[in-house]
Amino acid sequence: MSITIETGGPLRGEVAVPGDKSISHRAVIFGALASGKTEIEGFLAGEDCLSTVACLRQLGVPVTAGGETVLIDGVGLDGLGEPDDVLNAGNSGTTARLLLGVLSGQPFYSVLTGDGSLRRRPMGRVTAPLTQMGAQFWGRERARLLPLSVRGGLLRPLDYTSPVASAQIKSAVLLAGMFAVGETVVREPEKSRDHTERMLAAFGATVQTAGNEVCVQGRPQLQGRLVQVPGDISSAAFFLVAASIVPGSDLLLRNVGLNQTRTGVLDVLGEMGADITVLNFREESGEPVADIRVRHAMLRGVEIGGAIIPRLIDELPVLAVAAAYAQGTTIVRDAAELRVKESDRISVVTEELGKLGVNIEARDDGFVVLGGGKLYGGSVSGRGDHRIAMSLCIAAMGAATPVTLDDPDCIAVSYPAFLETLNTLRGLSQARRDLKP
């Protein structure tokens, strides 16, 4: 199946983007490892987060998921049970890597796999420090790729310096550290998103942070609690760019999480000249939240690199779209991590935007976009990558003729209602869908 995105008018109105994907994953995991009941409000019921729910159920955790509300009867640190089947993380790298940290602390055998895309993504960056802590792994390429067999238990604390800034690596080690006696320390070259350490503290663990270093004390007594998940800024980014590039647009995005480790996209769009106003700033469940108003503006090219990259790594595909509509040249560097996401996002975003007439060149660690040219219609593919697919939908907003996107179903990984919301904001009744022959 494919969809055709028509060139249309401005985007106007209000939108509440889905709950933050990163926080939703972590809330379910910590709720499972806590004692007592945890209620999650604003949960992202996308395929990735539901993979985490399914795996925890297989590990013996009672989880009731109903839309945006999830109820968990926590089993405590020592309450998980050996699964009687293979755990499947689907397309979710967060599910796989964080669960590897949890499984490392369990005194039983388990096997973890994922879909074809996830089985190609690197896991050695996680299994290496977890092996140092005492966990055992067996799998392809010396336990660097899924499927992985895991035998955990009897972990020792670790003082670990990560070679890259990655919240998934950091989280996996911190999660494993909860099962060890003593203090586990993780250092990063740059600070990655800090949802794990915030939520650890909220559930009752002893956590200390200093710059790019995080320490967790092992064997905490986590207690179930209410978690209110803010809107995902990674999902909001698509509408921030769409409203910026389509003349006459004026959008209000409600209840968006503005964790400082995630707001690089706002910084870059601001530097590009976007008309963005942050309103009603507040804190909910330990996370900063606000409303964001965005209106059309003339954008200009910028350079993106260095310490800001971990704060916007997931937003770089849609920022490539913003760059295509901006005047001047945009350079993205220090972003080689894009090559090991759901797809090789450097190659894919370059190839697919190129099909629409964007002057974009791939580099080893990023890309260069010469903006200001006219985009035209055509057929493009998200290559099974939800963020690429949504970025291409945004690119189509200002194209000269309609754009056809092959296989849009991957969008459901993080934003099941994306197309419906996009059409509502554009004043369209429904997407036009064309079945492939």
314 annotated active-site: yes
Round to whole Å and give the CA distance between 91 and 111. Answer: 16
d(CA 173, CA 177): 6
The label of the residue with tokens 């709720």 reads 31
Catalytic one of 20, 194, 314, 385: 314
| Cβ(223)–Cβ(204) below 8 Å | yes
Which candidate, 319, 406, 385, 432, places its Cα nearest to that of 47?
385
Distance of CA 81 to CAs 53, 54, 57, 110, 138, Å? 15, 14, 10, 10, 20
Nearest partner of 260 among 186, 201, 310, 305, judged by Cα: 310
Burial of 435 (0-12, 13-18, 19+ CB in 10 A): exposed
Give the distance, in angstroms, between the CA of residue 300 and the centroid of all CA atoms in the same chain.
26
* Residue 197, both tokens: 């350490």
Handedness of CA 337, 385, 89, 78 (dihedral sign): positive
Helix (H/G/I), strand (E/B), else coil: 21: helix
Active site residues: 314
